[in-house]
Structure 1
Amino acid sequence: MQFKTLFSAAVLAFSLSACSTVEKVVYRIDVPQGNYLEASNVAQVKQGMTVQQVQYLLGTPVLIDPYSNSTWYYVFLQQRAYQSPEQYTFTVKFDQRGTVTETNLDKPLPEVISQNENNTIIERKGDATKKSWWKFW
């Protein structure tokens, strides 16, 4: 009798521990860190642009070269749920006058699927003067 109880307890323990080793059961959010870089914005950075134009387009860089102040590093680290993190580094070099002389992107950025995802315009259908049933004044 005691053997059956121990055996069933062991089977139950092993079955519960087997369930906990299954990957992708717990939801993990996507974690972007650093400067959010989009391929369309990075493509707009051209030689001859000023410091202010680059900063307006891409934002404040993560790192400015401490020795010369003429090299800006935009670092974007993206970790999607259970995938390994991907790092993209965009380097912008300026000359003494503060204009872009060289740009370098270490690897191509992923394309954004939907450009208008966050710019949704909500339109109201029907007559705007028509009041709903609960507004009686």
Structure 2
Amino acid sequence: MQLKSMLSAIILALSLTACSTVDKIVYRIDVPQGNYLEAATVKQLEVGMSAEQVQYLLGTPVLIEPFDHSKWYYVYLQQKAYQKPEQYTLIVNFDQKGKVASFDLDKPLPDESKPAINNAVIHAEKTAPKSWWKFWQ
């Protein structure tokens, strides 16, 4: 008799956990990979800059064309929690003199100066200090 009740309790527990509709229980961190590209630094990139200036501004590229060193790739991959990953690719082309001839960003970068939607500002209520004999209020 006790075996039947134990077995029914196990089956009930397994069936309840199998039909759970709770999604996204495990916390996932934001994972940035590659060259961190900011909209403000990409706006500073100009035609005519030297390779050293570009590397100082944006960092070392993820990929340099192996046979033609005049093309640099900056790849930034951002995955926030359970959202789809977003990839941004900046291609910098240099001329024969080593100056920036052109650059192309595949899609606009998010502006980080704007506050995110989920960032809430919490203000504590300022209250007067209570007297020690009015602790029940």
- Give TM class, smaller chain: 0.7 to 0.9
Deviations 1:21-40 (A, max 9, x none): 63211111111110000011
Give the deviation of 1:73 after TM superposition: 0.2
Question: With structure 1 as the length reference, what TM-score do the two structures score?
Answer: 0.75
Give the deviation of 1:3 after TM superposition: 4.8
Letter in 1 for 2:111: E
SS of alignment partner, residue 11 of structure 2: helix
| Identity over aligned pairs, percent | 56
Distance in 1, matches of 2:8 and 2:113, equals 53
Give the deviation of 1:4 after TM superposition: 4.5
Aligned pairs for 1:1-137 within 5 A: 1=1, 3-19=4-20, 22-113=22-113
SS of alignment partner, residue 87 of structure 1: strand
Tell me how many residue pairs correspond in the alignment: 114
Give the deviation of 1:14 after TM superposition: 1.4
Give the deviation of 1:85 after TM superposition: 1.0
Distance in 2, matches of 1:55 and 1:5, equals 67
Distance in 1, matches of 2:30 and 2:38, equals 16
Deviations 1:63-107 (A, max 9, x none): 001111000000001111111111100000000111111110001
Q: CA RMSD in A?
A: 1.9
SS of alignment partner, residue 45 of structure 1: coil
Distance in 1, matches of 2:70 and 2:7, equals 71
Deviations 1:106-130 (A, max 9, x none): 0111111469xxxxxxxxxxxxxxx
Distance in 2, matches of 1:14 and 1:110, equals 44
Deviations 1:33-60 (A, max 9, x none): 1000001101110101111110000000
Give the deviation of 1:5 after TM superposition: 4.0
Unaligned runs of 5+ in 2: 116-137
Give the deviation of 1:13 after TM superposition: 1.3
Give the deviation of 1:10 after TM superposition: 1.2
